[in-house]
Structure 1
Amino acid sequence: MRILMIIDGLPGGGAEKVVLTLCQGMQQAGHDISLISLRDICNYPIPAGINYQVIPDTCRTPWRKLTELSRRAAMLDRTISTNEQQKGRYDLVFSNLHKTDRIVSRSKVIDQQRLWFCIHGILSTSYLGHRAGLDRWLKRRKIASIYQHKNIVAVSQAVGHDLHQNLRIEPNRLEIINNPFDIKAIEQEAAEPCMLAGKDYLIHVGRFHPHKRHDRLLKAYALSGIKAPLVLLGGGEEKIVEETKQLAQELGIHEQVQFLGFQANPFPFIKHARMLVLSSDNEGFGNVLVEALLCATPVVSTRCPGGPQEILEKAGMSNALAELNEKSLAEKMANIYANPPEINHQQLLSYGLKPICEQYIALKK
């Protein structure tokens, strides 16, 4: 089977990593996989055997924003047409991330039966959360117009519910497929040397972005009374990094908080941590929770809109869910730190690469 994945770019984000993992898994299963990136940015290694192409937008005219979507859709169509003329028609096409979806929805060469829009996050929170009145209504209509009566893959039940409940979207087909994890590769990478091995510390892994709520994390850590250091892994907006460092100073915990930046292999840091904490306002799925549990590291997460609640309830760890405030998060952190739960590895096998890729392949009917 010939499969095409399309994405806006490959910076160090969770959805981008999911796309690459899916490409690798389906390629290993014997399928012909193409990956098109709409920006020339890639912070991950491309799996061997994948036909990877970049279609950058080089237009610099003053009116480029007005023509961006239609212009880039035409560029994408030309590339797809050339590829299909050379190697045959794609059986399945997956569009990933909203910016990509806006471009792909204007394609004139991809028919709707083989096209699937993969929704990786809570769209209403990401795009409507700060809007009100007419502005909110118009934006909701604009988003809904892209996905209405289309084929959609949602990475969690919460993402699918959000589309229907908050955006009034009625898909043609809606499939809930959780994110995949190459469990063997994670275990191998986690076994690599770690400069923090043997030390007692907590960890947060995620880019510096407003919805990750590093401010809530630091306030909860200060309230928890835990003396072990807090390690922060991730890149992102420099302004938020500086604001987080300033907050650590104000809270009097700056000597206990370590900023280690983006790590290409975060798994040794996760494996040797006493506990991983997720403090977000929303998460489409919550990859890092599954990754931590695969590394046998206990977790605490906010009960935010998205996948964390589904993941932890499935793992029998609903007691590790905190409400969306620093006091509740601090209490859960202190409790799990003092009483680490037993992690049932068997419950995590359904997130393996093979079963998840099989669900994607089964979308062709």
Structure 2
Amino acid sequence: MYPNGLVRSKVAAGDAHIAVFVRNLRGGGLERVSLNLANELSRRGMQVDMVLAEADGVFLELLDPKIRVVDLNAPSLKGYTFGLSRYLRREKPKALLAQGEEAGVASIVARWLSRVPTRVVVSCHSTISQYVPRSQYFKVRFLPALMRLTYPAADHVVAVSSGVADDLAERVSLSRSQIHVIPNPSIPSDFLTLAPEKPAHRFFSSGLPVVVAVGSLVPAKDYPSLLEAFSMVLRHRDMRLIILGEGAERERLEGLISHLGIQDVVDLPGFVDPPWPFMAASSVFVLSSAWEGLPTVLVEALALGCRIVSTDCRNGPSEILEGGRHGELVPVGAPSEMAAAIVRALDRPLDGAAQKIRARDFMPAPCLNAYLPLLLPIKAAEPFMDLT
């Protein structure tokens, strides 16, 4: 636990000092967004601490070497709240950006315990009305109540999409006007120049269309609907499906794949980082989620110029795709409509230029420009503003 945990590199005195707090960097949209924000802050010359409940994960090595990593070594909410309090009392950063709903609760309580003037900005990524009732963790049921108790004390509350903001306002003691909407910096600064090589996966050498989906094997992603949709498509067109990700639903999904008799044309390779070569090589990228906040992977698909099919779930896909301008939108849990959309997408002309223009809205620079006035007093933020 801090200060005895891992601390990498020294702090340069005199710089604007900002801490980014997230539970870990093990992979996933929230973690990638935290990585992108921290790196962009560092790129602009700020003194950045990446504060982690547990300092592990595949994204650790992608942090700018100038960023200091602070390991609280405390996996529980109670543990990292007290660890964060000790960190704040010792380091006194000018601002703390809490990534995620639980991190927001911990950060606000930690500031109260530490009695420091650090500004706390909370970034909310989940649709609480969808996430909480479906969570397998009993403690999550108390999250809305904890948010109602603590969030009014935050300096600012940010939602990653308008839908998340609307949902948050309904369930937390905040008016909608108090919630800022700032999209996730879902893609790194150099993303639009990437040219991923085609993966060595056998499906890409078959000469057949390949559908790709990316995300943890969890109920929120509703992969059963995708598998049923894919089995319907196979009645008319021969193609392949790859789902990248790992999670508790693997056994159930493998059982459904076997039941549908599609085990020879579907592969679940597990977690792959980065997934971009698979996405770039896909014939169609599909997001089948039952709910989201602002799906990072959908922004990545836009930037890579993929043909896209997505559920019109709460929240994010319709905002990202601008109501279907950049991809097909289908109802949640509707395999037959998803199947028809996959077939349409295969024949749909791509407007790669328009997709890349839209993807720029989710790059670190414009997103951080929106965050800076919240994190720092305007006079401190002005020298770092970068409108490129």
Normalised TM-score (structure 1): 0.86
Aligned to 1:75: 83
Question: Which residue does the alignment assign to 1:53?
Answer: 70
Q: Indicate which of 137, 141, 145 corresponds to 2:145.
A: 141
Which whole-Å CA distance do the structure 2 matches of 1:26 and 1:178 have between them? Answer: 16
Residue number in structure 1 paired with 2:244: 233
In structure 2, the gaps of 5 or more residues are: 1-15, 378-388
2:217 alignment counterpart: 208
Query: Cα RMSD over matched residues?
Result: 2.6
For residues 98-113 of structure 1, the aligned pairs below 5 Å read 98-107=101-110, 108-109=113-114
Aligned to 1:323: 331
Residue 103 and residue 320 in structure 1: after superposition, are their counterparts in 2 closer, same or farther (change >3 A)?
same
Matched, 1:153 2:155: no
Letter in 2 for 1:18: V
1:168–1:342: structure 2 CA closer, same or farther, 3 Å change rule?
Answer: same
Equivalent residues of 1:35, 1:53 under 8 A apart: yes
Residue pair 1:152, 1:171 contacting (<8 A) in 2 also:
no
Find out whether 1:2 has 2:17 as its counterpart.
Answer: yes
Say if 1:234 and 1:3 are closer, same or farther in 2 by CA, change over 3 A. same
Aligned residues: 345
Deviation at 1:258, TM superposition (A): 1.0
| Residue-by-residue CA offset, 1:147-202 (whole Å, 9 max, x unaligned) | 23532111111110101134453378421111114455334554245214564311
Distance in 2 (CA, whole Å) between partners of 1:10 and 1:137 is: 24
Whether 1:194 aligns to 2:175 is no
Q: Is 2:33 the counterpart of 1:22?
A: no
Q: Which has the higher mean CA deviation after the structures are superposed, 25-34 or 335-344?
A: 335-344
Among candidates 93, 98, 109, match of residue 95 of structure 1: 98
SS of the aligned residue for 1:207 comes to coil
Q: Tell me the CA shift for residue 50 of structure 1.
A: 0.8
Q: Secondary structure at the match of 1:258?
A: strand
Q: Distance in 2 between matches of 1:137 and 1:287?
A: 25
State which drifts further: 149-158 or 14-23: 149-158
Distance 1:224 1:340, change over 3 A: farther
Give the Cα–Cα distance (whole angstroms) in 1 for the partners of residues 279 and 86 of structure 2. 43
TM-fit CA distance, 1:298 = 1.0
Tell me how far apart the structure 1 counterparts of residues 146 and 37 of structure 2 sit (CA, whole Å): 29
Work out the CA distance in 1 between the residues paired with 2:108 and 2:29. 23
| Cα pair 1:315 1:348 within 8 Å, conserved | no
Is residue 159–residue 181 contact of structure 2 (8 Å, CA) maintained in 1? yes
In structure 2, what is the equivalent of residue 38 of structure 1?
Answer: 53
With over 3 angstroms needed to count, the CA separation of the structure-2 counterparts of 1:168 and 1:124, relative to structure 1, is farther
1:273 Cα deviation from its structure 2 partner: 0.5
The CA distance in 2 between the partners of 1:130 and 1:30, in whole Å, is 39
How much does 1:339 deviate?
A: 2.2
Q: Which amino acid aligns with 2:179?
A: L
Matched residue of 2:109: which SS?
A: coil
Q: 1:167 to 1:253 in 2, by over 3 A?
A: farther
Letter in 1 for 2:69: Y
> Normalization by structure 2: what TM-score?
0.81
Q: Percent identity?
A: 23
Contact 1:213 1:280 in 2 (8 A): yes
Native 8 Å contact 2:189 2:365 kept in 1 = no
Give 5+ residue unaligned stretches, structure 1.
59-64, 85-89
2:369 to 349, 358, 364: 358
Contact 1:205/1:232 (8 A) holds in 2: yes
Instruction: Please report how far the alpha carbon of residue 296 of structure 1 lies from its aligned counterpart in structure 2 after TM superposition.
Output: 1.0
Contact in 2 for aligned 1:119/1:155 (Cα 8 Å): yes
Aligned position for 1:349:
360
Contact 1:155/1:177 (8 A) holds in 2: yes
Distance in 2 of aligned mates of 1:193 and 1:230: 16
Quick check: 1:147–1:171 contact (8 Å CA) kept in 2?
Answer: no
